[in-house]
Amino acid sequence: MKEILPPQPWPPFMEKEIVSSLGCSPQAYFNAVNYLIQTGVFYKQKNGVLYDTSGKVVGLDETRVDASTLQSKENPL
């Protein structure tokens, strides 16, 4: 799984493509990703914001999140 995932932050719904290509269940995918986050391989990610184990913001997807407020930008679609 580690080798398949792109660099963070991950785009929304990326897991659908990975689950399909691997032929695994969504639950197996999320279990593997959660394990990699818990072991420090990846950061926790929520709504395009990356957090370290202490909860400090360590990165974000600037196309989805306003860097000054950490709020989601409105979807232009």
What pLDDT, in 10s, does the model give residues 23-51?
A: 999 999 999 999 999 999 999 999 999 99
Whether residue 76 has pLDDT greater than 80: no
Confidence of residue 1 (pLDDT cuts 50, 70, 90): confident
Euclidean distance between CA atoms 8 and 44, whole angstroms: 10
14 CB-near residues (< 8 Å, 6+ apart)? 6
User: For 2-14, what is each residue's pLDDT tens digit?
Assistant: 999 999 999 999 9
Confidence of residue 19 (pLDDT cuts 50, 70, 90): very high
15 CB-near residues (< 8 Å, 6+ apart)? 26, 29, 30, 33
